[in-house]
Structure 1
Amino acid sequence: MSAAEAENRIQFIIGDVVQECAVRGNVVSTALVEFMVKAVILDPRNGFNVDRRLTKQDVDKLEELCLDKLLKKCSPTLDTIKMQLYFERNYISRREFLEVVQQDLQSKLSVVRQRITETRVKTRDQLQTVYQDLVSYILLHSGLGSTAEPWTVQEATAALQSIFPLSKLGVFMVLSKKEKEEQLEELSLTVTGIRLFNRACREGEEQLRVHHLMPAVMEDILTVTADSVENILGGTQSLSWRYTAVLEKLSNVDSAHGPDSVAGLGEVPGLDSSPGLDSMPGLDSVPGPGEVPVGLLKQALYNVRQQQHFLTLLQVKLCQQPLLDGETHIDVLKAELLSQLKQSVESKTAVPSTLPLFKNISKLWGRLRDEAELLSILNNLSINLQPFLASQAKIFSADYLDHLLGAAEVKTDEQRMNQMPDQRVDPAELKMHEWLWPSGTMDFLELPLEYKGYCGYRLAVDGLLLPGNPNIGVLKHKEKLYVFSSREAASTFAANVDNFVSEVAEKAKRSPELIQLLQLQQQLPAAGVSSEPGERLQVKSITKRDGCAQTVIHPIQTNIDKTYEWNEWELRRNALKLADLRTKATISTQTDRSHMRRDNNSQTWNMKDAACITKREGQSSMPTPQVYLAGLRGRRDAQVIKTHLTSSVTSTEQNY
């Protein structure tokens, strides 16, 4: 079977699972089913061998296991995977958001812009129609009101007439298309600034607030501040710290009852020794006295930690990134806009010299509007992440967690970073590995740590997400960086790094939510399976991820002089060479290997001797003309007789 046919077959299997879930009353997405198929194949407990082709019975088993996991009513693992897919589908960075906003705005303006720049007007009614299109273009560009609101249209028309009356429209129509578009942009900015200026004048300088200048919808958006995201993040962090403290406490208890349950503290009815909810079709009861489901606690911790990472990414990567003095980007824009408006209100006059000020106000307004919309998306995304914590909240109530905690101390991640400042790895004991320290590494806190900064040793041993402390030492192994929660954990991990890394990968195969939480997509290859003998299918891993890279211009500040020479005799020899140069002459010769050599060619013709006769030389003697006139003397009436005495040519030749 070809690769295309294999891909079609696996899509057919995924379609069957999606359809069966819908029949059972649970609508799931194709992406969720595809990820779950991959997770079931990777889990070694399910007995699928990716190196052999699957039979029809194996395919039926695969579908049944996927349905069992997808139809669970209370599963922290399923909630975590859904949360990961939801965030991946809806997360957008600041740059991408601004690009989308500009594309949407230009698509809306393109129709009106084309109607304005390409219309040929011949009557006054057509001029009036174009002028109304100008007002519509300005309203769409500014976002201050809608064309369906008569008062807004009247306000924008009045502002436009103050700088561009209808009488000037004839001059505008004879401009080129490019000049029309440039003037449209300038008019839109100026009119928007004038409208904001007029509203500020009505409010007065003392009562001026940015909220008063916005429509009702924009006011609701701008009232959403970083406090809402910070409150949700604070609650999630507190819950993750409590789960970590409980699991850390239980890890110190005697593990005679198995790695996934501890006797004497509480139980979930019907829960066997297998970790998590994998053996349970559904769970509607809360834990009671008996055994503590450590596997469920770990799944709940993974669920809460994943939401914590997403909320932190939303807070830092998007518009709530703090600037100088703790201010946010939107706070700076609000302050700058208020300052510009107050400056314009003080003048109280809209003269041509204030037009640049109106343009600046309009540009600040556009940036503030974009930031407000981005802040609204951030807030909605953070709120929509809350339902994915429902399963862990239903299984483990706050009172039950307090019962498990007892007198144990709940430590924050910052406290764990600072509680062991003296426990530092001794490089002399671990000479076979390279260690990084805060004092000798630039941008130490920005290092790309493996496992999202969690202790690799605790992950491999008991699957606990315990934050590592970089001050203990960062292990560099095969271009990857690992941190640990204690010096003993670092020493043990460094003694056999490859085995511990493989063990973490095995933990991720059993708990598929760890693949994205710990960024293990590169370590876990895609699983290749077959549906029938002779056929081979492939489930592709999720390869999309956000990443960033920064190049340090000068990672090590050095000044290396390659011409430096320490040998005194070599320095003297070079000095003598330089002193002897003035008596030398430079001669250059071009050879076959000379630089920039060129070939010159010329064409010649061989000369030959030749002669030809062009004339014949000769001579002749012509007779001299002689004429004798008789009768010139004597009588007047005498007749003159003319006698020719010239000899003939024939007689002349005979004489010679």
Structure 2
Amino acid sequence: GQGQSLSETLVAFMVKAVVLDPKNDFNMDRILTEDDVQNLIQLCVTRLLDTTNPSLSTIKLQVYFDTNYANRAELLNEQQRVLEGKLAPLVRGITESGPRTQEEIEYVYQRIVTYVLLSSGLGSPTDIEAVREVTAALQSVFPQREMPTFISLSKKDKEQQLKDLTMLVTGIRLYNKECQKGGSGIDDLPAILNEAIPSATRTVDEHLNSCHLLVYQYTALLESMQEDPDRYPQLESFKLKEALFNVRQYEAFLCILLSDGITSAQEVESLNVQFEAAMTTLKNTVQDKTSYNLVILCYYYLLNISYFSIEILLLFYLFLETRVNASDFENQEWLFPENTENFDQLLIQYHGFCAHSIGVKGLILPGNPAIGVLKHKEKCYAFSSKEVAYIFAQDPDNFIQLNIEKGFLSKIKSKRYLMFPF
């Protein structure tokens, strides 16, 4: 009745957040009663309409990131699906036709040229020079006189041969471009990426710096308010905590973007080295057209430049703190960089934030693994200072349960999302 239009995804995220919030007492082990459903609806509507609540902004941020930022597998699948959809009519026209006259055969052959050009993504059918290059390369490995053999193949075999021809012809074009004998319509992708990626990472880094400044300001205010509740009467501690969660969620997403940018830059450098090495080998090997089969390898290299592995970057805040003395604890296991293999890859609980401050103070403070990481029941915990690390280690199970009851962190298993108090 408020006249607001909301996406189904946003509503679904809100429902999940409300249900998983321990303070709302929804029992996931039983079917919701009618009263439960009405209560759930009311809670969701209230929070969806409260535009002054930073927690709503946090959920919108999560929804936007989830629906707009794909991981590597999703990206590859989507790109392949779109490309196949666009080429499907052309493929059917090639594989389902039964040309008999010379004119019909020439027409199908020209459609194969078009398919190879479009499928490679290197050039446009409106680029006459690119079409000529593809035609010449195709004729060198699949002359038109072999069309009767192609026509006799099954539909499935024709589709596979089209893919093989695309790989081969594209490899030839890349080789010719390297030899400065062609390459019309082929962009210098490594050079473009070497300029674009650093620019993107700089932008993300600038946003991260601004984000860190806000985090420190909010955290300092909250700690000051806890020490002296009357110092800032105009501020609401609860709203300030929600704002801190909002910035922390934004920070988490920026870290993912920055990680992907760094990984991409490393991939470009590595693949470019491999590509150049392969081209050098080809130049020393190619003597006649039969050797052109080797250039398929080069195509794989260039293709891979376009896609990058997505990894989660765990940021550790290494402040100058006194470390935990492991000998102070007889029954606790502490991990340090010098005694733990792949220390920087440890999966820290609570997304790396201090395991003590979450439940006790209701704050999200960055954990400092360099202080010492507590390994308790096969899970790792980091802390913001030596003092709170000692306190937590006296009774880990109690503090872990307190964190669960506070409901500050999501039970959703994704590392992308942070929960927040309503």
TM-score, normalisation: structure 1: 0.53
Aligned to 1:472: 371
Structure 1 residue 330 corresponds to structure 2 residue 229: no
- Are the counterparts in 2 of residues 425 and 487 from structure 1 also a CA contact under 8 Å? no
1:417 paired with 2:359, answer no
Residue of structure 2 aligned with 1:79, choices 43, 57, 60: 57
Letter in 2 for 1:457: H
Give the Å deviation of 1:172. 4.1
**Corresponding residue of 1:189:** 167
Matched, 1:233 2:176: no
Give the alignment partner of residue 263 of structure 1, picking from 228, 231, 250.
Answer: 231
- Partner deviation per Cα, 1:623-656 (whole Å, 9 max, x = no partner): xxxxxxxxxxxxxxxxxxxxxxxxxxxxxxxxxx
- Structure 1 distance, partners of 2:83, 2:23, is 53
Tell me whether 1:486 sits opposite 2:385 in the alignment.
yes
1:588-612 Cα deviation digits (max 9, x unpaired):
xxxxxxxxxxxxxxxxxxxxxxxxx
Contact 1:105 1:141 in 2 (8 A): yes
Counterpart of 2:297 in structure 1 is: 360
| Residue number in structure 1 paired with 2:248 | 305
Q: Which residue of 2 aligns with 1:558?
A: none
Q: Does 1:321 align with 2:259?
A: no
The CA distance in 1 between the partners of 2:374 and 2:272, in whole Å, is: 45
Q: Is the 8 A contact 2:275 2:298 kept in 1?
A: yes
Query: Contact between 1:112 and 1:133, CA under 8 Å: does it hold in 2?
Result: yes
Q: 1:463 to 1:110 in 2, by over 3 A?
A: same
What is the alpha-carbon distance in structure 1 between the residues aligned to residue 184 and residue 62 of structure 2?
A: 35
Superposed CA deviations along residues 312-365 of structure 1, whole A, max 9, x for unmatched, are 23443x47426xxxx511233344445656787899x98315413543333333
User: Residues 359 and 406 of structure 2 are in contact (CA less than 8 Å); yes or no, is this contact kept in structure 1?
Assistant: yes
* Distance in 1 between residues matched to 2:132 and 2:150, nearest whole Å: 22
Q: Does the CA-based 8 Å contact 1:475-1:481 persist in structure 2? A: yes
| Structure-2 residue corresponding to 1:462 | 361
The corresponding residue for 1:574 is none
- How many Å separate the matches in 2 of 1:314 and 1:124? 55
Is the Cα contact below 8 Å between 2:359 and 2:402 reproduced in 1? yes
The equivalent of 1:127 in structure 2 is 105
Matched, 1:243 2:211: no
Structure 1 match to 2:396: 497
Provide structure 2 residue ranges, at least 5 long, that are not aligned to the other structure: 417-422
Relative to structure 1, the CA distance from residue 344 to residue 299 in structure 2 (aligned partners, 3 Å threshold; closer, same or farther) is same
Task: Determine which of 377, 396, 409 is the counterpart of 1:515.
Answer: 409
The root-mean-square deviation of aligned C-alpha atoms, in Å, is 4.1
Cα distance per residue 1:540-562 (max 9 Å; x no partner): xxx6778xxxxxxxxxxxxxxxx
Partner of 1:620: none
- Cα shift at 1:434: 3.5
**Aligned residue identity for 1:69:** R
- Hey, what does 2:420 align to over in structure 1? none
Report matched runs for 1:174-213 at 5 Å: 174=152, 180=158, 183-200=161-178, 213=186
Per-residue Cα deviation, 1:1-54 (whole angstroms, up to 9, x for no partner)? xxxxxxxxxxxxxxxxxxx4xxx34322233324434544565777x6759986
- Equivalent AA in structure 1 for residue 138 of structure 2: L
Q: Secondary structure at the match of 2:245?
A: helix
Q: Structure 1: 5+ residue runs without aligned partners?
A: 1-19, 205-209, 265-289, 379-412, 509-513, 522-542, 547-656
User: Partners in 2 of 1:474 and 1:72 — Cα distance?
Assistant: 39
Letter of the structure 1 residue corresponding to residue 102 of structure 2: R
Q: Structure 1's 175 and 211: CA in aligned 2 closer, same or farther, altered over 3 A?
A: closer
Deviation at 1:186, TM superposition (A): 4.0
Q: CA offset at residue 419 of structure 1?
A: 0.2
Instruction: Supply the distance in 2 between the matched residues of 1:484 and 1:232 (Cα, whole angstroms).
Output: 30
1:291 alignment partner in structure 2: 234
Q: Kindly tell me: are residues 254 and 33 of structure 1, through their superposed partners in 2, closer, same or farther at Cα, counting changes over 3 Å?
A: closer
SS of the equivalent of 1:481 reads strand
Is the alpha carbon distance of 1:350 and 1:77 closer, same or farther for their aligned partners in structure 2, counting shifts above 3 Å?
farther
TM-aligned CA deviation for residue 311 of structure 1? 2.8
3-state SS, counterpart of residue 475 of structure 1: strand
Partner of 1:160 in structure 2? 138
Name the CA shift for 1:362/1:478 in 2 (closer, same or farther; >3 Å).
closer
SS of the aligned residue for 1:417 comes to coil
Question: What residue number does 1:453 align with?
Answer: 352
- Counterparts of 1:38 and 1:171, CA distance in 2: 58
Structure index of larger Rg: 1
CA distance in structure 2 between the partners assigned to 1:360 and 1:41 by the alignment:
52
Change (3 A) 1:182 1:454: closer
- The amino acid of 2:240's aligned partner reads L
Q: Distance in 2 between matches of 1:487 and 1:87?
A: 35
SS of residue paired to 2:148 = helix
Which residue in 1 is equivalent to 2:66? 88
Distance 1:72 1:457 in 2: 31
Distance in 1, matches of 2:236 and 2:187, equals 53
The amino acid that maps onto 2:263 is: Q
Task: Give the total of aligned pairs.
Answer: 410
Further displaced range: 132-141 or 296-305: 296-305
Higher alpha-carbon deviation: 332-341 or 132-141: 332-341
User: Which amino acid is the alignment partner of residue 515 of structure 1?
Assistant: L
Q: 1:198 to 1:417 in 2, by over 3 A?
A: closer
Q: Distance in 1 between matches of 2:60 and 2:148?
A: 60
Using a 3 Å threshold, how does the CA distance of structure 1 residues 157 and 263 change in structure 2: closer, same or farther? same
Aligned-residue sequence identity (percent) comes to: 34
The aligned amino acid for 2:402 is E
Structure 1 residues 193 and 496: CA distance shift in structure 2, 3 A:
closer
The residue type paired with residue 359 of structure 1 is I
Q: Contact (CA 8 Å) 1:94, 1:319: kept in 2 or not?
A: no
The 3-state SS of whatever aligns with 2:334 is: strand
Q: Could you say if the C-alpha distance between residues 141 and 55 of structure 1 is closer, same or farther in structure 2, counting changes exceeding 3 Å?
A: closer
Task: Measure how far apart 1:483 and its partner are.
Answer: 1.5
Asked whether the 8 Å contact 1:435–1:476 carries over to 2, the reply is yes
Q: 2: distance between equivalents of 1:476 and 1:219?
A: 43
Residue 8 of structure 1: aligned partner: none
Q: Is the 8 A contact 2:54 2:242 kept in 1?
A: yes
Amino acid in structure 1 at the alignment position of 2:359: A
- CA distance in structure 2 between the partners assigned to 1:254 and 1:79 by the alignment: 24
1:41 & 1:107 partners in 2: Cα distance? 39
